[in-house]
Amino acid sequence: MQSPPASVALPTKNPATKSADGPTILALESSCDDTGAAVIRAGRVLVNRTAGQEMHARYGGVVPELASRAHNQHIVPLVLTALAEAGVAPEELDAVAVTRGPGLLGSLLVGTSFAKAYAAGLGVPVIGVNHMRAHVLAHFIEEPRPPFPFLCLTVSGGHTQLVVVRAPADFELLGQTMDDAVGEAFDKAAKLLGLPYPGGPALDRLAQTAQPGAFADAFRVNDQPGFEFSFSGIKTQILYFLRDQTKLNPAFVEENRPALAAAIQQALVAALLRKLRRAVRETGIRHVAVAGGVAANSGLRAALAATAAQDGWLGLYIPAFEHCTDNAAMVAMSAHFQFLAGDVGDGFLSPEPRLGV
- In this structure, what are the phi and psi dihedrals at residue 53, rounded to the nearest 5 degrees? -135, 90
Instruction: State the Cα–Cα distance between residues 120 and 349, nearest whole angstrom.
Output: 12
Among 106, 111, 125, 157, binds ligand KG4 (CB under 6 A): 157
Binding flag, residue 29, ligand KG4 (CB under 6 A): no
Residues in region 176-195 near ligand KG4 by CB under 6 A = 183, 186-187
Q: Among Zn ion, ligand KG4, none, what binds residue 183 when CB lies within 5 to 8 Å by partner kind? A: ligand KG4
Grouping H, G, I as helix, E, B as strand and the rest as coil, residue 328 is helix
Q: Among Zn ion, ligand KG4, none, what binds residue 157 when CB lies within 5 to 8 Å by partner kind? A: ligand KG4
Among 35, 48, 72, 156, binds ligand KG4 (CB under 6 A): 156
Instruction: State the Cα–Cα distance between residues 110 and 87, nearest whole angstrom.
Output: 25
Size of residue set near ligand KG4 by CB under 6 A: 18
User: Contact at 8 Å (CB) between 96 and 119?
Assistant: yes
Among 326, 335, 336, 352, binds Zn ion (CB under 5 A): 326
Q: Among Zn ion, ligand KG4, none, what binds residue 352 when CB lies within 5 to 8 Å by partner kind? A: none
Binding flag, residue 297, ligand KG4 (CB under 6 A): yes
Binding flag, residue 33, Zn ion (CB under 5 A): no
Q: Among ligand KG4, Zn ion, none, what binds residue 212 when CB lies within 5 to 8 Å by partner kind? A: none
The length of the chain, given as a count of residues: 357
Concatenating the DSSP letter of every residue in 125-186 gives: -EEEEEHHHHHHHGGGSSSSPPPSSEEEEEESSS-EEEEEEEETTEEEEEEEBSSS-HHHHH
Q: Closest CB to Zn ion among 175 and 258?
A: 175
Binding flag, residue 150, ligand KG4 (CB under 6 A): no
299-305: long-range contacts, CB 8 A cutoff, minimum separation 24: 299/204, 299/207, 299/262, 299/265, 299/266, 299/269, 300/155, 300/269, 300/272, 303/269, 303/270, 303/272, 303/273, 304/273, 304/276
Least CB distance from residue 312 to ligand KG4, whole Å?
Answer: 27
Residues in region 118-157 near Zn ion by CB under 5 A = 156
Q: Closest CB to ligand KG4 among 94 and 187?
A: 187
Binding flag, residue 229, ligand KG4 (CB under 6 A): no
Among 29, 94, 180, 326, binds ligand KG4 (CB under 6 A): 326
Binding flag, residue 35, ligand KG4 (CB under 6 A): no
Please give the sequence-ordered ranges of beta strands (E in DSSP) within the chain, or none if there are none: 24-29, 35-41, 44-51, 95-101, 126-130, 150-155, 160-167, 170-176, 287-291, 315-317
Please report, as ranges, the residues that interact with ligand KG4 according to CB under 6 A: 32, 156-158, 183, 186-187, 198, 200-201, 204, 292-294, 296-297, 325-326
